[in-house]
Amino acid sequence: MSLSVLGAIAPMPAPAFAAAAAAAAAAAAAAAAAPTTTPLTRRIPASGEAIPLVGLGTWITFNVGNDARARDACAEVVRAFFANGGRLIDSSPMYGSSQPVIGHALGKLGRLASLFSAEKVWTGDGARGAAQMEASRAHWGVPRFDLMQVHNLLAWEAHLPRLLAMKAEGRLRYVGITTSEGRRHGEVERIMKTQPIDFVQFTYNLVDREVEERLLPLAAERRIAVLANRPFREGELLRALQRHKLPGWAAELGCDGWAQAALKFIVSHPAVTCAIPATSQVAHVVQNLGAARGPMPDAALRARMAADVAALA
How many positions of this chain bind ligand NAP (CB under 6 A)?
30
Considering the rule CB under 6 A, would residue 88 count as an interface residue with ligand NAP? no
Q: Is 230 in the site for ligand NAP (CB under 6 A)?
A: yes
> Which residue among 41, 117, 123, 229 contacts ligand NAP (CB under 6 A)?
229
Asked if 281 is part of the footprint of ligand NAP (rule: CB under 6 A), the reply reads yes
Is there binding between residue 59 and ligand NAP (CB under 6 A)? yes
Stretch that binds ligand NAP, among 29-37, 210-218, 224-232, 305-313 (CB under 6 A): 224-232
Closest approach of ligand NAP to the CB of residue 231, in Å = 5
Q: Which residues contact 5 (CB under 8 A, 6 or more apart)?
A: 294, 295, 296
Task: Give how far Cα 216 sits from Cα of 45, 185, 203, 210, 294, Å.
Answer: 14, 11, 11, 9, 24
Told to check if 277 binds ligand NAP by CB under 6 A, we report yes
Nearest to 170 by CA among 195, 131, 144: 144
**Looking at the DSSP assignment, which residues form a beta bridge with residue 275?**
54, 228
DSSP conformation letters of 145-181: EEEEEEGGGTTHHHHHHHHHHHHHTTSEEEEEEE--T
Residue 259 as a binder of ligand NAP (CB under 6 A): the answer is yes
Least distance from ligand NAP to the Cβ atom of residue 234, Å: 4
State the DSSP H helix or E strand holding residue 258, giving kind and residue range, or none if neither. helix 258-267
Number of H helices, E strands in the chain: 12, 12
| Residue 124 CB coordination number (10 Å) | 8
Task: Please identify, using beta-carbon distances, which residue of 176 and 297 lies nearer to ligand NAP.
Answer: 176
Among 84, 123, 178, 268, binds ligand NAP (CB under 6 A): 178
Considering only 75, 148, 215, 238, the residue that binds ligand NAP (CB under 6 A) is 238
Residues 194-223 that bind ligand NAP (CB under 6 A): 201
Q: Where are the beta strands (DSSP E) in 1-155?
A: 3-5, 41-43, 50-52, 56-57, 88-90, 116-121, 145-150
Is 122 within 8 Å of 89 (Cβ atoms)? Answer: no
The single residue among 45, 52, 57, 85 that binds ligand NAP, judged by CB under 6 A, is 57
Please report whether residue 279 would count as binding ligand NAP according to CB under 6 A.
Answer: yes
Residues within the interface to ligand NAP (CB under 6 A): 57-61, 90, 151-152, 178-180, 201, 229-235, 238, 259, 276-281, 284, 287-288
